[in-house]
Structure formats: C-alpha cells, structure tokens
Structure 1
Amino acid sequence: MKAHSEPMTDNATRRDRSTASAEDESLLPAVVAALTAAGKRLVDRFSTAPRLESRADVLAALGANDVVSLEALREPLSRARPEARWVEDELECGPLPQGEWWVVDTVEGNINHVHGMTDWSVTATLVRDNEPVLAVVHLPLTGDTYTARKGAGAYLGTRRLQASTKSELDAAFVGTGQARPDEDKETHRRIGESVTAMLGSALVLRVSVPATLQLIQVAAGRMDVFWQYSQVRSGLAAGALLVAEAGGAVTDTRGNPWSFASEDFLAAAPQLHAGAVNVLSTIR
C-alpha cells in the first residue's frame, strides 16, 4: 500500500491544482468586466487640465478617485469569488494570512491621474496562500488589458507576452521608482544609490510611478529590468505574476526568491537577471 501512497497524493495534488486553474480561468471575464467598469468611471473624472493648488487638494482628489473606483469593483469581485477576503489598505506590506485575498489597486498611478497624466490603470490580483495566481491590469485610456494566470502565461488581449531576450546589461532599458509617498530616508538613500549604480551599467534608466506600469513593459519585452525598494503588495502583485508568466525572473535584489515578506523587488529579462543582481546587490 505504501508504494501507492505517494503517487496517489501527487495525483490528488494535481487534481486540486487543475481544478483551481480551471476556476481561475473562468473567473477572468468577471474580473476584466469589473476593472473595465471602474475604468470608465475614472475616465469620466480625468482631465488633462487639473486644478490642484495644495497637498490637501491632491489628497482629496486621490481619495475621491479611490471611492468611485471601489464602488465599481468591490461588489462584482466579491460576488465572483465569495471565498476571497479583501485587503482594505492598498499601501499595506508584508505577508497575508493563508487563504484567498483580492489585492486591488483602485487607481494604480492615482497621482498621475489627478495631475492629468496618462500613466494610470486599475489592477486586481487574486492571491492564494500568499502567491499571486490571477492578475488583471486594465488601462482605461487605451483600452489595453493585461492578464495572467499562474502556469498559463501572460497576455495583452489575446497576444501572449514574452520578456526581452537581451543578454547584455549595457543594452538594457531599466527602471525604478518610489513605492509610496513619504518613504523613509534609508529607502531614499537606497533608491539614489541604485540609480547611480545602474546609470553606470545600463543603457537607459527610467524613474517613474507606478510600478505596475513599468512591470507590464518588462512582461511585454519593451523594458528589461525593474526594481523597487520597500514593499507595497498592490503595486507589485499583478506585475510580478505578469513578468513571471512572460518568462522573466522575479526575485529580490540579491537574487533570492521573491515573496510578500521580501525587503525589495527585482523583475528582469531572464538573461539580464544575473547582471542586475550583480549591480543591485551592492546596495545595502
């Protein structure tokens, strides 16, 4: 009997994974529809001629956008996956309790939206036992929708994505940015030192927010490397899955496996990952 116990367990595990994968696939249309509805509301609020005069004005505009988008997202996502709990604070860091969670950014790049810039999106990631298993990133102004499921690839619409095939860091288009406003001085130091280090190693460097809109470029092979210090789950979860499913490497800046418990984040084209680690691992 013992000779059959391990294969039986393996078969059961494969069946469980297969069932979960099928359920996740059937979930995708509902997630895309919810993000599209939220995006339409945000487009209606978008202006390329903003009227912001103070920090209070900025914070009020950010909050109003979050409320409008959340109203379109929470009910349909909760209905689509009733078992999944909801992360209330989009700036939260660290591991989640076991089980399923919706990690959502109601306006990823909200700061850009309220200032009349076009680099913003709506994102939702289903996290199961601290592992992203389904992600959708919707760009309302272009209508582009990026999707990924664990083990099933990453897509822009129906086109499968593939990370860059570059092999030399001195040919790379790389990027980084803040995780959130009011980072501590130590994080500012690490960002600055990493930018200086990469300016001497890569071809071109971009510093911008939000993280997700750089990570979709890495997944699509348009950019080659992205890293970020500190952790904000909602800014990394979707992009991490997209890059991994597009064949990219996702680790921390020292090359260790990335998780929500990691101190920092690195996503890179597979042949550039070692070179990026060599540069960034010197930053302490």
Structure 2
Amino acid sequence: MLEHAWWVWVLILFIFTFFLGVLAVMGGIGGGVLFTPIVGSFFSFHLDFVRSAGLFVALTGSMVPASWILKRGLANFRLTLPLALIASVGSIVGALIGLIIPTWITQTLLGVVTLFIAALIVFSKRSEFPEVPKPDKISQKLGIYGIYHDPSLNAVFEWWIHRTLPSLFLFFMIGIVAGMLGLGTGWANVPVLNVVMGCPLKIAAGTSKFLMSITDTSAALVYLNSGSVLPLITVPSVLGIMLGSYVGIRLLARVNPKIVRVIIGAILVVAGVKSLLKGFGIWV
C-alpha cells in the first residue's frame, strides 16, 4: 500500500464506505457492523486502526438520530441508563483487552463473530409487539415501563419488560465484544431488547441507537487515548458512511430490505472467512 500516494487510499476508503453506508441503511443495521469486518479483511490497514475507526463510525451513526429519537418517544431513559452503564463497563474492558492480546487472536475472533452476525442478520426473527405476561421484580423496582403511541396503527400500547438480570449480563458481554473488536453494539442491542427483554420493536430500535451513543463512546475513548485513532482512516470512513446513509434512506422505499439483508449476510460471510484465514496466517 505504501507504493501509492496517501490520498489514493483515502479516496478509495471514502468511496468504499459510501457504499457500505447505503447498504447499512437499506439493510437496517449499523455501519460499524459492516465497516470493521469488511475493511479489516479486505484492506491492509492495521487492525487497531480499523477497530478504532469502526467505533467512531458506529458512534457517529447513532448520535445523528439520537435527538430525533428522544423527541418521538422511541427511547426510554429508565431502560437505557442501566443497560448503558453495564455495557459501557464491558466495552471499556473489551477495548483494553483488544489492545493487549495479539492481533492474530483478535483477527480470528473477529472472523468468528462476523460469521455469527451474518447468521443473525439473515435468520433472526423479531416481533413488533412481543408478549410479556408481567414485568419482573428488577424492572419494577427500576420503574422500567412505558406507553408507546404507534402512528402507523394510530394506537397506544403499554409495555414493560422481563428477564432483566440475564439481559444485563448479555449487555455486559455485548460491550466486551464491541470494544474488543470495534464493532459497536448495534448488531446485538435490538435482538436482546426485543426478543429477550420483550420491548416493542420500534422502542428496541430507538433505545439501541441511544444506547450506542453512550456505549461506543466509552470504547472509542480508550482507543483514542492509546493513540490508535488514525485520522486518515477515521475521517474518510465517517464521512463516507454518513453520506452513504443519507443516500440509502432515499433508496430505502425502492428496495426489498430482506434481499439487501441476504446480500449483506453473504458479504459478511466472505469477510468472516477471510478474517479467519488471516487470523490463522493462511491469507495475508
């Protein structure tokens, strides 16, 4: 890569992440989930720089709609804060671990997690309004419940959650994986909130975005403090993802999201396999 001018790779990365941003929006997933495994597998940048850039990509994508989500009542503070606290601790621990362990181990783990995420994207089933018979004791003590108005149905729904304790453990583990691999937490937030805890899907999606803006910041600061943030990689990546997301939103109504998710799943499978091969030293 050093035989080319530096600006050539900045331009290539910007164009590449622009298309990732388009795919991410149309597939309904976070840009960081695509950025780290794909760029880490197909570009020759050091994985520490890619992971740190991936966290900033995920962080930027979550902060942009955060205020809009809060105004629309699609995120709940009482639900977000305990999850954000435990996930942030996990992400800091994960980031510290990721900077200590050898790169080949991180590359291998990234391959394994990427293949898991690909399966999750393609095969996961989510419920618009999960059935929660009654709230558990922890959520009752924390006062986690809400009333949600769905404008598409012109109806008001009361919701509460259950399985809070195991979900807190899951969010701690999600934080560790996100911080260690630079994926952000968006790939797992919604499935846990919706399927495990029983949040309505739109509340889960909105809370996930708000949750990411807190959790990913914690891990990103660890990488920033360690000197792993390279502006020549991070800046064009963030700009490319943001511009691609802007275009993707306008294309969203014209495409079938299920087809896009299958395409994304296939791309992640290729990236995951290549990451595994790089981790094992089979593919440089």
TM category (shorter chain) comes to under 0.3
Bigger relative contact order, structure 1 or 2 (CA pairs below 8 A, ≥6 apart): 2
TM-score, scaled to structure 1: 0.26
Q: Which of the two has greater strand per residue?
A: 1
